[in-house]
C-alpha cells in the first residue's frame, strides 16, 4: 500500500505587550493610545511577515544557521544560512536570517543545549553576540527559541517551504509521512541539479523540457533571489542594440523593469524574486500542483470579556499582552512537476539588504 500524504497544520504565533505605565500615560488621550496600539500592532505584523517569508524558502525545520566552531562564549560564529547546502550560503552573509533581539535555541538535532538572546549580529561575517555566554558544539543548530524555558524551540515545527517541497532527498527523503524514495513513490521527487555554475539559456530550456518529459506538465513559475535574477539579466547583454552613433536604442540601458516593478519573464514564465531566497538557487514550479492550505488565515486571540478583547494580563507582571496566530501549511501533490537548480554562479554583496 503506498504511503499517504499527512499534512499537519503548523502554527505561527506572535505577541506584543503594553506596560501599565503606557496605558496610564495615555488614558486621558484616546488618540495617543490608539496611535501607540497601532504602532505596536504594525511592528508585530511586520515581524510575522518577515518570518513567514523566510519560512517560504525553507524546509520546515526552522534552522537559521549552523555553528561553525563550537565555543563557550558570548560570541558565536555561524555558517550555512538556513542550513542550505551550497557554497554561496556558507560563505556569503551566513547570519542573514538572524537579527538583534532574537531569542535562539542552540541545539544538537532535537536536543536543546542552551537558550540565548542576540545582542548584536554581523550578518556578513556570521558573528552572533549573545547577552550572556552560551556553549555550543561545532555543527549545533541555531533555531528560534523561547525566553521562558529551555525545552522549546521552532525546530521541526515550521510550515513547509520550497526547499522541502522541490526536492528529491537532499533535505527531506520523507515529507508529510511520505517516503518519496520508496518504490512506486518517486513521482514525488523533483528534478534537482547542483553545482550548476554559469546560468545559460540552453540549460534552462533543457531543464524545463526534461521536467515536462518526466511529468507531462510544464512549469509556469520561477522563484529566485536577486543574485540569480542579475545572472539572468546578463544573458541578454549581447542582444542589446545600439544606434550607429553609439547610443542605446532604449536610453534605459538596463533590462526593462529588471524585476524591480514587475516580474521578468523567461519564455513567458514569470520570475518571482525575493530577498530571503537561498543564494544561487532557481526554482521552477507548476503552481497547479502547489497549494497553500490554511485552517486560520490569521487573527487575534480573544480572552475573557467577549469578542474584541484581545489583551490578557501578562504572568507575574503589571503588563498586558495580545497574541496573533495562524495555522497553515504549504503542500505539493506532485513533486516531479518541479525542479530546483542550485550552485548557480552569482555575485552577492556582503551585509547589504539582509537585516530588514
Question: How far is 75 from 18, CA to CA, in rounded Å?
Answer: 31
Q: Are 163 and 60 in contact (CB under 8 A)?
A: no
Place of cell 520570475: 271
Q: Is the pLDDT of residue 355 over 60?
A: no
Give the Cβ contact number of residue 324 at 10 Å: 19
Contacts of 268 (CB under 8 A, 6+ apart): none
Q: Is the pLDDT of residue 68 over 80?
A: yes
Average pLDDT over residues 276-304: 92
Cell of 36: 501607540
Q: What is the pLDDT of residue 251?
A: 43
Question: How far is 243 from 251, CA to CA, in rounded Å?
Answer: 11
Contacts of 166 (CB under 8 A, 6+ apart): 190, 192, 283, 285, 332, 335, 338, 339, 340
Q: What is the pTM of this model?
A: 0.88
Question: How far is 184 from 325, CA to CA, in rounded Å?
Answer: 38
Nearest to 90, CA basis, from 356, 343, 353 = 343
Q: Is the pLDDT of residue 1 over 70?
A: no
**Mean pLDDT of all residues in the chain?**
87
The model's pLDDT over 209-259, given as tens digits with 9 standing for 90+, comes to 999 999 999 999 999 999 999 999 888 777 656 555 655 555 444 455 555
Task: Give the confidence band of 193 by pLDDT, cuts at 50, 70, 90.
Answer: very high
Give the Cβ contact number of residue 241 at 10 Å: 7
Q: Give the chain's length.
A: 356
User: What is the number of helices (H) and of strands (E) in the chain?
Assistant: 6, 18
Q: Are 23 and 320 in contact (CB under 8 A)?
A: yes
The model's pLDDT over 16-34, given as tens digits with 9 standing for 90+, comes to 887 777 777 777 777 776 7
Average pLDDT over residues 118-146: 94
pLDDT > 70: percent of the chain: 88
Q: Is the pLDDT of residue 83 over 50?
A: yes
Nearest to 225, CA basis, from 67, 63, 86, 337 = 86
Question: How far is 73 from 206, CA to CA, in rounded Å?
Answer: 49
Give the Cβ contact number of residue 248 at 10 Å: 12
End-to-end alpha carbon distance in the chain? 47
Cell of 233: 539579466
Question: How far is 79 from 94, CA to CA, in rounded Å?
Answer: 5
Amino acid at each position: 500500500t503506498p504511503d499517504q500524504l499527512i499534512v499537519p497544520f503548523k502554527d505561527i504565533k506572535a505577541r506584543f505587550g503594553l506596560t501599565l505605565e503606557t496605558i496610564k500615560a495615555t488614558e486621558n488621550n484616546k488618540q495617543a493610545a490608539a496611535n501607540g496600539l497601532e504602532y505596536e500592532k504594525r511592528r508585530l505584523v511586520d515581524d510575522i511577515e518577515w518570518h513567514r517569508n523566510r519560512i517560504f524558502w525553507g524546509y520546515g525545520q526552522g534552522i537559521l544557521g549552523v555553528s561553525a566552531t563550537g565555543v563557550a562564549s558570548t560570541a558565536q560564529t555561524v555558517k550555512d544560512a538556513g542550513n542550505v547546502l551550497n557554497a554561496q550560503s556558507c560563505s556569503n552573509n551566513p547570519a542573514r536570517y538572524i537579527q538583534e533581539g532574537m531569542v535562539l535555541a542552540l541545539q544538537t538535532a532535537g536536543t536543546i543545549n542552551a537558550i540565548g538572546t542576540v545582542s548584536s549580529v554581523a550578518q556578513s561575517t556570521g558573528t552572533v553576540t549573545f547577552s550572556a555566554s552560551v556553549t555550543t558544539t561545532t555543527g549545533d543548530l541555531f533555531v528560534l527559541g523561547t525566553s521562558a524555558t529551555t525545552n522549546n524551540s521552532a525546530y521541526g515545527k515550521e510550515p513547509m517551504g520550497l526547499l522541502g517541497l522541490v526536492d528529491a532527498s537532499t533535505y527531506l527523503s520523507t515529507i508529510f509521512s511520505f517516503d518519496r524514495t520508496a518504490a512506486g513513490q518517486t513521482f514525488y521527487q523533483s528534478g534537482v541539479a547542483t553545482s550548476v555554475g554559469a546560468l545559460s539559456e540552453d540549460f534552462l530550456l533543457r531543464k524545463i523540457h526534461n521536467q515536462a518529459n518526466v511529468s507531462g506538465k510544464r512549469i509556469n513559475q520561477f522563484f529566485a533571489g536577486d543574485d540569480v535574477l542579475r545572472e539572468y539579466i546578463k544573458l541578454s547583454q549581447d542582444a542589446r542594440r545600439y544606434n550607429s552613433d553609439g547610443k542605446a536604442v532604449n536610453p534605459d540601458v538596463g533590462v526593462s523593469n529588471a524585476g524591480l516593478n514587475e516580474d521578468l519573464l523567461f519564455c513567458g514564465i514569470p520570475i518571482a524574486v525575493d530577498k530571503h531566497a537561498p543564494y544561487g538557487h532557481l526554482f521552477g514550479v507548476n503552481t497547479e500542483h502547489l497549494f497553500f492550505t490554511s485552517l486560520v488565515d490569521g487573527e487575534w486571540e480573544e480572552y475573557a470579556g467577549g469578542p474584541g478583547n484581545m489583551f490578557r494580563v501578562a504572568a507575574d507582571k503589571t503588563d498586558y499582552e495580545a497574541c496573533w496566530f495562524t495555522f497553515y501549511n504549504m503542500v505539493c501533490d506532485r513533486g516531479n512537476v518541479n525542479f530546483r537548480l542550485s550552485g548557480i554562479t552569482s555575485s552577492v554583496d556582503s551585509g547589504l539588504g539582509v537585516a530588514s
